[in-house]
Chain A
């Protein structure tokens, strides 16, 4: 038979058909750092795997666990009592501890690349230092998977004046910003030299090397530490839907950071054991964790702050610590929900044996079709076939029409494999009813007549949901007012067919410069909840002149049931300090060519300092609309943030241009999040600095008004 050889073009089309997007370089680097940190640490078994978002969140905020690791569980309670302060970028600290900081950012630029030590915190326990790298050209970075760029030698050291070398004790970050822990610097040493051998992932000779920046430390200013109110969970939550003796999901601490709450807790697998199930049963997570409010609405979980002291080796404890950061505008109580399923061992004594003859010279790929049925603990399974694997072992293919069957253990008597493949594959895998077990890497390949033992059949058990609830101690029914915004009706003007209602907006948040209801976002409801027609009114028509923060509406009709409730669901707010975003796409290979139009760059989450609301940039797309080019920027944001109109503050080369056209806008997309575009016909230079002076926010604000007696 003539072997079919495909046309190269056909193969190329197939490759294209199977094309997947490039991985996010930030993720690649973060995982690289995580693996580097993991090297040399003892392997531990984890009972469930976590999605990246949860993995990131788990890295958040857990000095409690650090305390466990550092001082042992007996003293944790006492240590926790000291955790009174929070420093963004550092974590939780004892407010009484002596703290020093970097006098100011230290920066150096060489060949267009800028290294900046942006902050440092020094305590008697450790030193935490953050540095940024900007302007690294794409051409200087390694893009060939066979050629490693600078790492792990790129981890910076600290040199003290007496010659002491402080090596990093862990940390990580993105190619743009790295944060590392170091041993403590003696209290009488206020200088150090930051030494960076090379820039992360750069190739030798293509970027300046051996950076040295001189650092000076000063006592921390007294206002640096944000007061933290530690709130006791109220009361010990025990919504336990399983027959286990305890709720394995525990909320341990809640930290009030001002704008947010950080919920700290742990999941204790041993307490998830259901005593009514056979010994050896265990529960594992099957769905993403959710946090919902009193109305069952999902509460937005922020990405974690980059606080290295909170990025702890959580897998070194039996319990699974977690931390979720949320905003404050929820309707309490909160419910944290873990949904999962039990795995139950069938009768552990039940086993089946059979003899299988491989012959004297089995070959990799050789297959023996058996279709042999076995019954273990009352459950029927079929061993369809056995294959010899190239990895010095055998694969066993099973099937079962019994949906309760998960998987079965396979052993070859007298032989111990060094590896087992797909041991957790089970009956609910890709092909329901079919699964396989591989015994791999035998030191000596079993062959000839072999005694094969099937045992430890496991079954799928019930799905179980674990929940905890929490309410802030000062919680009132309903959602707290975002930014402390309130509405008030100041006066009314009777009309033949209704009223003019003149009111104003107040706010308590000092970061807000103004707030006004969205033009059509204010609605009126009578005492029976019936909507009464209300529309924005013209100041001139009413013969009035607006003052700051005032609004004027026209109410239609007079025969409604008092009292009237005015409810705004959207507010346009202006910030005293604009929200800024600095983008430098050079390090991600952006060259401005048309060939890159449509390309997507994904980030781990560039946080945006939006007052009171969590938001971070996670995706940037190079786009063109008409003659304008620019970026579509996608933000993972609290759904309360419905609009954040950015304008270009700097980063345009307008030389020779008589007029600069630009456009943009922002909108909320249910699937993507908050999306905004910046477009221009000028040449974009980097860094591109974008600025938003205000936002559109969604929440509910109400006031009441009683019409005059008729």
Chain B
């Protein structure tokens, strides 16, 4: 798909279709506003379209694209705009009302814990759960070894799980 798009820009739309939602969700999570996420998503794809000829096919297009998105988000904050807290309403999926309440409560606590994390830690979770990148791709984005990313990630998850359990004791 990427090679086709490099040969024929008209094929880029297929890449857009593949990556539009992950990029949007990632940027929304970063900036907390639909309008800004739309703006940055547009900037990301326009930049990707312009620089695609310079992309060297290494099988990690997603990492390359998310690197652009990260740069755009960084530029956004460089303008002095403060991040907007994400909507605190999260969907719940449990069936019975009690489970719904408990699960929604835990999800809410996790969202709070997420907001208190270091930016680098937030980014790790974001790239994994919002952007749906593989550990290898996250490694490329962050310039870290895949194993390093994986260990850091699981350490972070363990910590979050402990914090969640403590808060329920």
* Chain A residues near B (Cβ < 8 Å): 3-7, 10-11, 13-24, 27-28, 31-32, 34-36, 38-40, 43, 49-53, 55, 142, 145-148, 151-152, 286-287, 363-366, 387-392, 395, 418-419, 421-422, 424-426, 428-431, 438, 441, 602
Residue from A35, A145, A425 in contact with B45 in the complex, judged by beta carbons closer than 8 Å: A35
B129 pairs with A18, CB closer than 8 A: yes
**Interfacial chain A residues near B41, Cβ < 8 Å:** 23, 31
A17 pairs with B20, CB closer than 8 A: no
**Interfacial chain A residues near B161, Cβ < 8 Å:** 6-7, 10
Please give me the residue from chain A that is nearest to B73 by CB atom. Answer: A430
Please give me the residue from chain B that is nearest to A146 by CB atom. Answer: B18
Distance, CA A151 to CA B107, complexed state (A): 38
Please give me the residue from chain B that is nearest to A441 by CB atom. Answer: B56
* Chain B residues near A (Cβ < 8 Å): 9-10, 12-14, 16-22, 24-25, 28-29, 34-39, 41-43, 45-46, 49-51, 54-56, 58, 60, 63-64, 67, 70-71, 74-75, 77-80, 86-87, 90-93, 103, 106-108, 110-111, 114, 119, 125-126, 129-130, 136, 139-140, 143-148, 154-155, 157-158, 160-161, 164
**Interfacial chain B residues near A53, Cβ < 8 Å:** 35
Q: Assuming A40-B10, A419-B51, A422-B74, is B21 touching A21 (CB within 8 A)?
A: no
List 16 contacting pairs A-B, 8 Å CB cutoff, sorted by A: A22-B21, A23-B25, A27-B38, A49-B43, A52-B35, A52-B39, A55-B39, A142-B17, A146-B18, A148-B17, A363-B145, A388-B143, A389-B140, A391-B67, A424-B78, A428-B77
B71 pairs with A13, CB closer than 8 A: no
Please give me the residue from chain A that is nearest to B10 by CB atom. Answer: A39
A21 pairs with B87, CB closer than 8 A: yes
Residue from B10, B63, B78, B126 in contact with A391 in the complex, judged by beta carbons closer than 8 Å: B63
Distance, CA A387 to CA B164, complexed state (A): 33
B71 pairs with A391, CB closer than 8 A: no
Q: Among B21, B25, B34, B86, which residue has the most Cβ atoms of chain A within 10 A?
A: B34
A24 pairs with B54, CB closer than 8 A: no
B13 pairs with A35, CB closer than 8 A: yes
Q: Assuming A18-B129, A418-B56, is B17 touching A425 (CB within 8 A)?
A: no
Distance, CA A16 to CA B92, complexed state (A): 8
**Interfacial chain B residues near A3, Cβ < 8 Å:** 154
**Interfacial chain A residues near B75, Cβ < 8 Å:** 49, 424-425
Distance, CA A418 to CA B114, complexed state (A): 35
Number of A-B contacts (CB under 8 A): 206
B78 pairs with A365, CB closer than 8 A: no
Distance, CA A148 to CA B60, complexed state (A): 21
B143 pairs with A10, CB closer than 8 A: no
B13 pairs with A18, CB closer than 8 A: no
A51 pairs with B143, CB closer than 8 A: no
B154 pairs with A31, CB closer than 8 A: no
Distance, CA A32 to CA B21, complexed state (A): 12
Q: Assuming A23-B21, A23-B38, is B140 touching A36 (CB within 8 A)?
A: no
**Interfacial chain B residues near A387, Cβ < 8 Å:** 143-144
Distance, CA A4 to CA B151, complexed state (A): 9
**Interfacial chain B residues near A35, Cβ < 8 Å:** 12-13, 16, 45-46, 49
Q: Assuming A390-B143, A421-B67, is B148 touching A365 (CB within 8 A)?
A: yes
A36 pairs with B13, CB closer than 8 A: yes
* Distance from A30 Cβ to chain B, minimum over Cβ atoms (Å): 9
**Interfacial chain B residues near A363, Cβ < 8 Å:** 145
* Distance from A206 Cβ to chain B, minimum over Cβ atoms (Å): 17
* Distance from A320 Cβ to chain B, minimum over Cβ atoms (Å): 15
Please give me the residue from chain A that is nearest to B108 by CB atom. Answer: A17
A4 pairs with B154, CB closer than 8 A: yes
**Interfacial chain A residues near B78, Cβ < 8 Å:** 424-426, 428-429
B145 pairs with A364, CB closer than 8 A: yes
Q: Assuming A31-B42, A35-B49, A145-B21, is B140 touching A391 (CB within 8 A)?
A: yes
**Interfacial chain A residues near B43, Cβ < 8 Å:** 49
**Interfacial chain B residues near A390, Cβ < 8 Å:** 60, 63, 136, 139-140, 143
Distance, CA A624 to CA B28, complexed state (A): 28
Distance, CA A395 to CA B114, complexed state (A): 26
Residue from A28, A51, A151 in contact with B35 in the complex, judged by beta carbons closer than 8 Å: A51
A40 pairs with B9, CB closer than 8 A: yes
**Interfacial chain B residues near A39, Cβ < 8 Å:** 9-10, 12-13, 49
**Interfacial chain B residues near A146, Cβ < 8 Å:** 17-18
A20 pairs with B20, CB closer than 8 A: no
Residue from A32, A391, A419, A424 in contact with B16 in the complex, judged by beta carbons closer than 8 Å: A32
**Interfacial chain A residues near B63, Cβ < 8 Å:** 390-391
B71 pairs with A16, CB closer than 8 A: no
A21-B28, A49-B39, A424-B75 provided; 14 other pairs, C-beta below 8 A?
A13-B107, A14-B114, A24-B34, A28-B24, A35-B46, A40-B9, A51-B35, A147-B17, A365-B145, A390-B139, A392-B58, A395-B143, A430-B74, A430-B119
**Interfacial chain B residues near A438, Cβ < 8 Å:** 67, 143
Distance, CA A82 to CA B60, complexed state (A): 53
* Distance from B53 Cβ to chain A, minimum over Cβ atoms (Å): 9
* Distance from A429 Cβ to chain B, minimum over Cβ atoms (Å): 5
* Distance from A425 Cβ to chain B, minimum over Cβ atoms (Å): 5
Please give me the residue from chain B that is nearest to A600 by CB atom. Answer: B34
**Interfacial chain B residues near A20, Cβ < 8 Å:** 25, 28-29, 37, 86-87, 130
**Interfacial chain B residues near A5, Cβ < 8 Å:** 154
